Amino acid sequence: MNADDFPTPDIDVESVAPESLKDRIDAGEDVTLLDTRMQSDYDEWRIGGETVTSFNVPYFEFLEDDIDDVLERVPDDREVTVLCAKGGASEYVAGTLAEHGYDVNHLEDGMNGWASIYEAVEVERYDGAGTLLQYQRPSSGCLGYLLYNDGEAAIIDPLRAFTDRYLEDTADLGVDLQYALDTHIHADHISGVRNLDAEGVEGVIPEAAVDRGVTYAAEQSSTSPASQARQDADLTTAEDGDTFDVGDATIETVSTPGHTTGMTSYLVDGSLLATGDGLLIESVARPDLEEGDEGAPEAARMLYESLQERVLPLPDDTLVGGAHFSDAAEPAEDGTFTAPIGELVEEMDALTMDEDAFVELVLSDMPPRPANYEEIIATNLGQNAVDDEEAFTLELGPNNCAASQESLAGD
């Protein structure tokens, strides 16, 4: 049954905007969520939080003639927010519950609406030239970085779903978006580099990723003059040591292979290292998404070398800003998921182990691979064409690009 096929409830049910729900969770309010998706979808990916009580009752159980047993599983002593994939089933279920006297509302646009939340938070501890923002997508834990200075800007690890957002934000700031840089060929979301390149922004990918079969022709995403002018342009490739000027600030390319052979970090004006998936504030990268289980040990050793020789020698106060965070991650005081290198060395056992122990630990406890990761990789390589709606659907779910946080975190 499609969302449009559900009967309209006989009682009006209030809808809750995804942003409002997130504000309540961020404020530490107790929130009770009834997720009506299939159990397999619920088990794979759901809304979490310390003050969130979440439980699953698939929507079809509310379509039965006798639902007394189902109603007994729904608490009647508190407000319940019902959600589904797109908002249709949850409105029906919430209406059914309201007719039985429950205090309920439903999440507008369901998990698709939750996946549309994208927030920009200033990295206050950044002390380089200009201003640095961290984009945060709570549904999948994806992070990106916007640096702007002296009328120019650059975005690191942009998401295709938010191409217009970057252009609108930089226009509002009165700056020209010069560069869109990817740290690597992502496996959990569709990159926005090609779409931004088609809009006149210089798209940049790591030179080290070329051997994976990247197709360079920028996809034409609109009929704007900028798009017409760049539709046949090649993406720029960044080699280790290359620099990109953004006003008075400089972004330096730092090769850090391991998560992928092309994994590249970007040192933002000597203050923050945008590490992609190589090093996160709670874990390190998983090494099996490019060459599978067979190639994972070699990739893990490559990752160890990158961390020890390219990342950890940086000054202790250099901020680390990864491309992901998990539900368990604690933000810094400024609300960003960043941390100084020195602090991570003190807290993360994996960063002080010898190579053999590191490899054994990383390979011992990896989560399931990201949903649709093979198709996402092919799309990011330019080998698979999908429209915007399909691209959005492909990346729904957890990112799972890190090794297990439980095995890598300190005591």
All structural domains of the chain with their residue ranges: 3-114, 119-408
**Cα–Cα dist 57/92, whole Å:** 13
Q: Picking from 6-10, 42-46, 231-235, which range would have the lowest pLDDT averaged per residue? A: 231-235
In this prediction, residue 367 carries a pLDDT of 81
- Six-digit token pair at 30? 């107790």
**Average pLDDT, whole number, for the chain?**
89
In this prediction, residue 7 carries a pLDDT of 66
In this prediction, residue 240 carries a pLDDT of 96
Distant-in-sequence, close-in-space partners of 372: CB < 8 Å, separation ≥ 6: 394, 395, 397
Q: Examine the pLDDT at 222 and tell me if it is beyond 80.
A: no
Distant-in-sequence, close-in-space partners of 24: CB < 8 Å, separation ≥ 6: 31
Average pLDDT value for residue range 384-395: 89
Task: Identify the architecture of domain 3-114 in CATH.
Answer: 3-Layer(aba) Sandwich (3.40)
Whether residue 193 contacts residue 181, with contact meaning beta carbons closer than 8 Å, is answered with yes
Q: Examine the pLDDT at 218 and tell me if it is beyond 60.
A: no
Average pLDDT value for residue range 26-46: 94
The residue whose two tokens read 């000597």 is: 270
**pTM for the predicted model, two decimal places:** 0.89
Q: Examine the pLDDT at 284 and tell me if it is beyond 70.
A: yes
Q: Examine the pLDDT at 223 and tell me if it is beyond 50.
A: no
Whether residue 410 contacts residue 351, with contact meaning beta carbons closer than 8 Å, is answered with no
Average pLDDT value for residue range 323-334: 88
In this prediction, residue 9 carries a pLDDT of 67
Closest CA to 49 of 330, 407, 399: 330
Q: Examine the pLDDT at 192 and tell me if it is beyond 90.
A: yes
Distances in Å between the Cα of 58 and the Cα atoms of 43, 83, 95 are 12, 10, 15
Confidence of residue 327 (pLDDT cuts 50, 70, 90): confident
Average pLDDT value for residue range 379-390: 89
Q: Examine the pLDDT at 4 and tell me if it is beyond 60.
A: no
Which residue has better confidence, 352 or 9? 352
What confidence tens digit (pLDDT) does each residue in 53-82 have?
999 999 999 988 788 999 999 999 999 999
Return the amino acid letter for 157.
Answer: D
Q: Which residues are catalytic?
A: 84
Which residue has better confidence, 187 or 156? 156
Q: Examine the pLDDT at 280 and tell me if it is beyond 90.
A: yes
Return the amino acid letter for 394.
Answer: L
Task: Identify the CATH homologous superfamily for domain 119-408.
Answer: Ribonuclease Z/Hydroxyacylglutathione hydrolase-like (3.60.15.10)
Average pLDDT value for residue range 231-246: 84
Q: Examine the pLDDT at 409 and tell me if it is beyond 50.
A: no
Q: Examine the pLDDT at 2 and tell me if it is beyond 60.
A: no
Which residue has better confidence, 291 or 336? 336
Average pLDDT value for residue range 334-355: 96
- Six-digit token pair at 229? 């002018």
Whether residue 267 contacts residue 240, with contact meaning beta carbons closer than 8 Å, is answered with no
Average pLDDT value for residue range 355-381: 88
What confidence tens digit (pLDDT) does each residue in 152-167 have?
999 999 999 999 999 9
Closest CA to 130 of 150, 146, 149: 149
In this prediction, residue 237 carries a pLDDT of 93
In this prediction, residue 133 carries a pLDDT of 98
Give Cα 73 distance to the centre of its chain.
33
Confidence of residue 406 (pLDDT cuts 50, 70, 90): low
Confidence of residue 5 (pLDDT cuts 50, 70, 90): low
Confidence of residue 228 (pLDDT cuts 50, 70, 90): very low
